[in-house]
Each structure stands twice: as C-alpha cells, then as structure tokens.
Amino acid sequence: MQEESLQSIMPSIKKVGSIALSLLSKKQMDAAIRSKGNYQLAILGKVDFTTRTLTIVYGDFSVHETTLDVFRPSGTEGTPSWTEPDFTDFEITDWGQAVRFGPYEAAVMHL
C-alpha cells in the first residue's frame, strides 16, 4: 500500500516546471517509511523556483509546503560563518532528517 502511494504522487511532482527534486536512496527511504517517527522524516522533496516553495513528502506520505523565505542566512554577515541557502543545490540528507541547500542545512522537523 505504501509503495503504491509513493508511485501515485511521484508523477505529479515530476510534471512541475522549474524545479529541483531530491529523493532518499531506496535503503534510506525504506527505513524512513518503516520508522515509528516516519511523520518527521522527509523521503522526497521539491523546490519550485517559480512559486519559491519547498514541498516535502514525509515517511507517512503526508505533504507539507513552505515558502523558501523561511530559510534565512545563518551566521554573521561578512565572516566565514555566514551561510546562505543555494536552492539550486538541493538534497534531502541525514536519512530524511534534514534538507541541504548548498552549504546551508536545516532540520526537517522545524519545517
């Protein structure tokens, strides 16, 4: 049932225009879906540059969308600690616990 659910949402995500996609590896996705905390683990994500949104599909197959504006630079501007998100370099990392935009990372549970 869960695999069928994932297959049903993927075609709609692939048809979106100007996007970046990230999908966990099969091993990590399987672990996230089977986890008791699957509602907190991202298995698939989409950055839409047209709408400036991030859509996350969690291990329980719930979907959450947020604006990219919530990802603000971190650190002190003008110092090496200053990190800005690069939305063109998008990846779901840490077994579904985080999203990465270039050198910038954010925990999924805070989205």
Domain limits for position 15: 2-110
Q: What is the pTM of this model?
A: 0.79
Q: Indicate the SS3 state at residue 66.
A: strand
Which tokens hold the place of 87? Answer: 């939305």
Count up the domains in the chain and report the number.
1
How many C-beta neighbours within 10 Å does residue 7 have? 9
pLDDT, tens digit, 9 for 90 and up, residues 48-92: 999 999 999 999 999 999 999 999 988 878 788 889 999 988 999
pLDDT top residue among 94 and 6: 94
How many degrees, rounded to 5, is the angle at CA 57 between CA 22 and CA 102?
35
Q: Which residue carries 């996230």 as its tokens? A: 32
